[in-house]
Amino acid sequence: MTRFGVALGADPLTFLGLAGMGDLVLTCTGELSRNRQLGIDVARGADPAGYVASRRTVAEGYGTAKAAHLLANKLGIDAPIVEQVYQVLHEKRPLIEALTLLMNREHKEELRGIKS
């Protein structure tokens, strides 16, 4: 999400602190993470919309994926992971296809366009 923040005027180093990286690590690894559980269930074949509709709690990443996709398009930001997460969650792209598209992308400098 750093590219979004920078495009909107944020300092890119802000995202390297506990609020940025700490939240990302906990979301990806925490046993109680609703977003992680959504990902696990989608990987097991669950329909993302059906999964979200069947829960009393909110996996924020489901709605955020769509919002981030729209914002990236609006700002002209290349956000390949956001794009593939959006495609899997909202456009029914198979996970293996999304992974293949990400892994076969042209290699680019990771920090291109981010200045501190």
What domains lie within the chain, and their CATH numbers?
2-103 (1.10.1040.10)
pTM: 0.85
pLDDT at 114: 63
What residues have CB less than 8 Å from 28, skipping those under 6 apart?
36
Angle CA 44–88–64, to nearest 5: 110
Q: Which ranges constitute the DSSP H helices of 1-116?
A: 2-7, 23-29, 34-43, 48-53, 60-75, 80-90, 95-103
> 102, 84 in Cβ contact below 8 A?
yes
Tens digits of pLDDT across the chain (116 residues)? 567 777 888 887 877 777 788 888 888 899 999 999 999 999 999 999 999 999 999 999 999 999 999 999 999 988 999 999 999 999 999 999 999 999 999 988 776 656 55
pLDDT at 16: 78
**If we measure between CA atoms, which residue out of 81, 77, 41, 44 comes closest to residue 59?**
41
pLDDT at 116: 54
